[in-house]
């Protein structure tokens, strides 16, 4: 990608998330990018994220992937709207519908599209695909947090 990842634009004080924080060296290091009116994230989960059935992804990891990608999408969308630098968003609500078991061992694609921006709140619809098969959908409500205090 020629553009920086959305998460790489977070202020340093807010770049520590396990899922998407560039400063969390033990984390997943998720990266999201704009592609038209959607943002896209690719991730291949490690085998130890298996769920109750061997060879398939743990549902909590699916929710985490959608949560972090949704937060990045909300931040980038708000920045596009206001022209201000990318800020940080936190989850007010997360709803996930698990449609099919998500296999391990292949790259997943998480796609996000902004539904609404209203003040500090951004609503994002998400889909998670494994080898072009839709495995989960979701909606997140994200809320913008204030910038870090300058000391």
Per-residue pLDDT at 38: 96
Sign of CA dihedral 39, 49, 29, 88: positive
Q: CA 21 from chain center: how many Å?
A: 11
Q: Which domains does the chain carry? A: 6-144 (3.10.129.10)
- pLDDT at residue 37 above 70? yes
Strands 133-144 and 121-130: antiparallel
How far apart are alpha carbons 62 and 36 in whole angstroms?
24
The 10s digit of each residue's pLDDT in 77-135 is 999 999 999 999 999 999 999 999 999 999 999 999 999 999 999 999 999 999 999 99
Which two structure tokens, joined as six digits, stand for 96? 């996930």
Tens digits of residue pLDDT in 44-73: 999 999 988 899 999 999 999 999 999 999
* Beta strands in 15-88, from DSSP E residues, in sequence order: 32-35, 38-43
What are the catalytic residues? 67
- Cβ(32)–Cβ(40) under 8 Å? yes
Report which of 31, 33, 57, 41 is spatially closest to residue 109, judged by C-alpha positions.
41
Residue 29 — φ and ψ, nearest 5°? 60, 40
C-alpha distance across the termini of the chain, in Å = 35
């Amino acid at each position: 990608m020629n553009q920086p990842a959305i998460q790489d634009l977070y202020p340093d004080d807010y770049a520590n998330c396990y899922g998407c924080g560039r400063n969390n060296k033990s984390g997943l290091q998720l990266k999201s990018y704009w592609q038209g009116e959607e943002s896209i994230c690719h991730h291949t989960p490690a085998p130890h994220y298996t769920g109750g059935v061997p060879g398939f992804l743990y549902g909590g990891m699916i929710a985490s992937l959608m949560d972090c990608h949704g937060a990045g999408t909300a931040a980038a969308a708000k920045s596009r709207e206001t022209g201000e630098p990318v800020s940080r968003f936190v989850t007010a609500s997360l709803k996930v519908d698990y449609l099919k078991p998500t296999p391990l061992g292949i790259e997943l694609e998480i796609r996000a599209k902004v539904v609404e921006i209203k003040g500090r709140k951004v609503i994002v619809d998400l889909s998670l695909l494994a080898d072009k098969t839709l495995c989960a959908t979701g909606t997140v409500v994200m809320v913008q947090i204030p910038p870090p205090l300058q000391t």
